[in-house]
């Protein structure tokens, strides 16, 4: 579809950003790829097993109250006819790239924020509301060319923060605009928790201060919002909800990790360690790709709960340690094995590893005594990455991972999109 013709408008309503949010993305891609699933309630799960959660639900399933994070047993009770679909992350990334290309044909993308969200800063004639609405309609039509089951909600607003808010106000297939002259009153029908950045804990803090509505939140002073947040973020939000357009550069990355729900055959202390080491290998590979070094390492295990035990998330075991800054699999494995000695002999249900206190080359502390050994380890890790990039993932991998090559496949996180070379 050709880019829509824009007209010169120097007066009238203006918007600065367009935010696109794909609706029920994983489920919609599955329905696109498998026509027999269209019109049916489906839930996408990490794996077909009893102890898992839904990571996506079609709108037919959402009508029963199923959403991301719903436990499978609860979802099946809500909707007895629910169809389960094992997630296919590579397929979602392939569609993501096709969608990015489709959007870019209509409008340059300023930021890809996740696999199903992207933002476009509007300039010149694009800022006129009538032109922005034409662009939004063109984007929706272009998306149908990628897949006729794919839908998106689009928000138009003076800044990126409010454009995202607007994209959430009407789903599915919505188109909402917020104008600076209508702010903050146009937000009064929302709850504070509808704003990005106000999670469960922040909402509880606001309620403790007697703030339960958007009208009450908007009545606060910048200084009061800064005090409630305990940081400058609160003051920034005061300006954002009034339409001010500014955004700070993203802070440097401080941690990265991987977590995985274990398949039944890996629910033993020994097998969980092997899966944990594979997750460590994936995290270390990402660390090297980003040219970062880690100064800390942590491990967490959640255990099966039985009758009379607490709810999910408890019991669990967690351990972490400071480490000599490194990024090679071999030294990191030693640290994980050392921490694992403290893991209780219970039946694990999930395992996770994370690397933190990340530093770039110019920031890291160089070793005093084992520089030559560290260089050998890093060269071996870099060679392993190069071979896997050329011949495919898992062509070469650290010893001890042979039995878990099929475990913990590459997933899509909320904040990063894996390259196709990782599948």
State the residue for tokens 């305990």.
Answer: 230
Residue 66 belongs to domain with CATH number: 3.30.70.270
Query: In degrees to the nearest 10, what's the CA dihedral of 329, 334, 339, 340?
Result: 90
Q: Does residue 298 form part of some domain?
A: yes
Domains: count for the chain = 3
| Sequence-separated (6 or more) residues with CB below 8 Å from residue 250 | none
pLDDT at 366: 61
Q: Does residue 332 form part of some domain?
A: yes
- Which of 159, 177, 195 is at the close of a domain? 177
Q: Does residue 6 form part of some domain?
A: no
* 3-state secondary structure (DSSP) of residue 382: helix
Residue 217 belongs to domain with CATH number: 1.10.150.20
Query: Rounded to the nearest 5°, which phi and psi values hold at 41?
Result: -75, 115
Structure tokens at 190: 């929302």
pLDDT at 103: 94
| Sequence-separated (6 or more) residues with CB below 8 Å from residue 285 | 385, 388
pLDDT at 56: 93
Domain that holds residue 147: 15-177
DSSP 181: G
pLDDT at 407: 63
Mean pLDDT by groups of 10 residues along the chain of 423 residues: 64 91 95 95 87 90 92 92 92 94 93 92 94 95 94 96 96 95 95 92 94 96 94 93 83 84 87 92 90 93 65 72 88 92 90 92 65 72 77 72 61 63 60
Q: Please list the residues that pair with 393 across neighbouring strands.
A: none
Q: Does residue 4 form part of some domain?
A: no
| Sequence-separated (6 or more) residues with CB below 8 Å from residue 219 | none
Asked if residue 273 and residue 385 are part of one domain, the reply reads yes
How many whole angstroms separate alpha carbon 46 and alpha carbon 28? 16
Give the distance between the most distant pair of CA atoms in the chain: 70
How many whole angstroms separate alpha carbon 416 and alpha carbon 286? 11
CB 42, CB 85: distance < 8 Å: yes
What are the catalytic residues? 117
pLDDT at 311: 46
- Which of 151, 177, 203 is at the close of a domain? 177
pLDDT at 110: 93
pLDDT at 123: 92
Asked if residue 191 and residue 156 are part of one domain, the reply reads no
- Which of 177, 200, 227 is at the close of a domain? 177
CB 246, CB 159: distance < 8 Å: yes
| Sequence-separated (6 or more) residues with CB below 8 Å from residue 164 | 19, 21, 117, 119, 155, 196
């Amino acid at each position: 579809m050709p880019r829509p013709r824009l007209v010169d408008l120097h007066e009238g309503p203006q918007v600065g950003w367009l935010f696109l949010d794909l609706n029920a993305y994983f489920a919609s891609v599955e329905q696109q790829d498998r026509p027999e699933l269209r019109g049916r309630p489906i839930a996408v799960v990490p794996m077909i097993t009893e102890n898992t959660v839904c990571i996506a639900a079609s709108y037919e399933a959402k009508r029963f109250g199923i959403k991301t994070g719903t436990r499978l047993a609860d979802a099946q009770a809500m909707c007895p006819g629910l169809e389960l679909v094992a997630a296919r992350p590579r397929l979602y990334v392939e569609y993501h790239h096709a969608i990015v290309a489709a959007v870019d044909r209509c409008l340059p993308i300023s930021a890809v924020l996740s696999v199903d969200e992207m933002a476009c800063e509007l300039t010149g004639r694009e800022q006129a509301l009538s032109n922005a609405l034409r662009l939004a309609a063109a984007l929706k039509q272009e998306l149908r060319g990628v897949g006729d089951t794919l839908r998106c909600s689009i928000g138009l607003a003076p800044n990126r923060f409010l454009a995202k808010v607007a994209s959430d106000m009407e789903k599915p297939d919505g188109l909402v605009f917020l104008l600076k002259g209508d702010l903050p009153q146009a937000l009064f029908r929302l709850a504070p928790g509808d704003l990005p950045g106000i999670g469960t804990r922040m909402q509880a803090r606001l309620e403790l201060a007697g703030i339960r509505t958007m009208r009450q939140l908007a009545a606060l002073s910048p200084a009061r919002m800064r005090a409630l947040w305990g940081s400058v973020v609160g003051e920034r939000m005061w300006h954002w909800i009034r339409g001010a357009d500014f955004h700070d550069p993203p802070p440097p990355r401080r941690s990265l990790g991987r977590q995985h729900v274990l398949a039944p055959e890996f629910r033993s202390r020994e097998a969980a360690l092997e899966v944990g080491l594979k997750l460590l290998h994936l995290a270390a590979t990402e660390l090297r790709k980003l040219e970062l070094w880690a100064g800390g390492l942590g491990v967490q295990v959640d255990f099966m709960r039985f009758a009379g035990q607490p709810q999910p998330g408890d019991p669990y075991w967690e351990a972490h340690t400071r480490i000599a800054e490194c990024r090679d699999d071999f030294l990191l494995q030693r640290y994980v094995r050392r921490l694992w000695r403290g893991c209780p002999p219970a039946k694990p249900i999930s395992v996770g590893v994370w690397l933190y206190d990340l530093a770039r080359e110019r920031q890291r502390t160089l070793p005093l005594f084992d520089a030559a050994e560290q260089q050998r380890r890093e060269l071996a890790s870099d060679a392993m990455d190069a071979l896997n990039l050329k011949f495919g993932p898992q062509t070469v991998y650290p010893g001890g991972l042979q039995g878990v090559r099929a475990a913990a496949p590459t997933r899509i996180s909320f904040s990063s999109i894996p390259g196709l070379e990782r599948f």
